[in-house]
C-alpha cells in the first residue's frame, strides 16, 4: 500500500467513525424534537433573501432521523417555486425531477421518497438558483459529511460557485472540522433549528 492509499483508508475510517457517532446522536433525539427542528429549519430557510428570489430550488425529501424537509418542500411549491428533487442512481449519482405536490412522490431505493415526474438528468441541478442538501455535519469551512455515498459531492461539483448552497443540520452538527478529501464539496450556509442560518467561509 503506498502513501496515497494509506491516507485514503485513514480518511475513510475517520469519516465512518464520525458518521456512526452523529447517527447515534440523531437516534437518541426524540421524534417530537426532530419534527420541531424540521419546522424551525423550514422557517429559517424560507426567510432567506436568496430563496425568495429563487425561481428554481433543488431540495430533497428527508429520510429517517434527518430534520424533516416535507414542510419546506411543500411550502416552496405552494409559493410557486419550481422545486427539483433527486433520484438516487445505482452509481450513487443524482438524477433530478420536478416536485408537483405531495402526490408526485413514490418510494425509491433506501427508504427514499422520489419524484415521479420525468427525469431531467444529472446536470439539471445546474438550473437551480439555490440548492438545499442534507448533511450529518458541516465544518466552519463549509465542508460536509454525508451518508457516505458521495452523491451530493457529485451534484455540488456541478453547481456554479455563485449559487447559494445550504445544508440542513441539527444545532450541534456545525463542528470545527470534518475529515475531507479532494472530492468533498463545501456548502456556503447551514440552517439549524435554534441558530437559524449561519454563513460559512
Ligand atoms: N465527484 C465525484 N466523482 C466520482 N465519485 C465521487 C465524487 N465525489 C465523491 N465520490 C465518491 O463517493 C465516495 C464517498 O464520498 P464521501 O465524501 O465519503 O461521502 P459523503 O460525501 O456522502 O460523506 C468517495 O469515496 C468517492 O468514491
Ligand atoms: Mg463527501
In 3D space, the residue among 138, 147, 183 whose CA is nearest the CA of residue 165 turns out to be: 138
For residue 37, the CA-to-ligand 1 centroid distance in Å is 28
In 3D space, the residue among 69, 156, 81, 154 whose CA is nearest the CA of residue 113 turns out to be: 69
Pocket of ligand 1 contains residue 164 by CB under 6 Å: no
Alpha-carbon span 134 to 167, nearest angstrom: 5
CA distances from 140 to 29, 143, 194 (A): 24, 7, 17
pLDDT digits (tens, 9 = 90+) for 77-128: 999 999 999 999 999 999 999 999 999 999 999 899 999 999 999 999 999 9
For residue 143, the CA-to-ligand 2 centroid distance in Å is 8
How would you classify residue 196: left for phi > 0, otherwise alpha for psi between -120 and 50, otherwise beta?
A: left
Pocket of ligand 1 contains residue 157 by CB under 6 Å: yes
What is the value of pTM for the model shown?
Answer: 0.97
CA 71 and chain centroid, separation:
15
Domain ranges of the chain: 3-199
Alpha-carbon span 152 to 127, nearest angstrom: 16
- Ligand 1 pocket test: which of 94, 145, 153, 186 has the largest number of ligand atoms within 8 Å of its C-beta? 153
* Eight-class DSSP state of 68: P
pLDDT digits (tens, 9 = 90+) for 150-197: 999 999 999 999 999 999 999 999 999 999 999 999 999 999 999 999
Alpha-carbon span 51 to 54, nearest angstrom: 5
Give the confidence band of 1 by pLDDT, cuts at 50, 70, 90: low
Provide the grid cell at 32: 417530537
What class has domain 3-199? alpha beta
pLDDT digits (tens, 9 = 90+) for 6-65: 999 999 999 999 999 999 999 999 999 999 999 999 999 999 999 999 999 999 999 999
Amino acid at each position: 500500500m503506498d502513501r496515497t492509499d494509506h491516507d485514503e483508508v485513514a480518511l475513510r475510517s475517520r469519516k465512518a467513525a464520525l458518521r456512526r457517532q452523529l447517527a447515534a446522536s440523531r437516534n437518541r433525539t426524540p421524534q417530537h424534537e426532530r419534527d420541531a427542528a424540521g419546522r424551525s429549519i423550514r422557517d429559517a430557510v424560507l426567510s432567506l433573501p436568496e430563496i425568495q428570489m429563487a425561481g428554481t430550488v433543488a431540495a430533497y425529501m428527508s429520510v429517517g432521523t434527518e430534520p424533516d424537509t416535507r414542510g419546506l418542500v411543500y411550502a416552496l411549491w405552494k409559493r410557486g417555486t419550481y422545486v427539483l428533487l433527486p433520484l438516487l442512481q445505482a452509481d450513487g449519482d443524482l438524477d433530478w425531477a420536478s416536485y408537483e405536490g405531495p402526490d408526485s412522490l413514490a418510494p425509491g431505493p433506501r427508504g427514499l421518497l422520489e419524484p415521479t415526474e420525468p427525469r431531467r438528468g444529472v446536470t439539471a441541478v445546474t438550473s437551480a438558483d439555490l440548492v438545499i442538501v442534507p448533511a450529518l455535519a458541516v465544518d466552519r469551512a463549509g465542508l460536509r459529511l454525508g451518508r457516505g455515498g458521495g452523491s451530493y459531492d457529485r451534484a455540488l461539483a456541478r453547481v456554479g460557485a455563485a449559487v447559494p448552497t445550504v445544508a440542513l443540520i441539527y444545532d450541534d452538527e456545525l463542528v470545527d472540522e470534518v475529515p475531507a478529501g479532494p472530492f468533498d464539496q463545501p456548502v456556503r450556509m447551514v440552517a439549524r433549528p435554534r441558530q437559524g442560518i449561519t454563513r460559512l467561509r
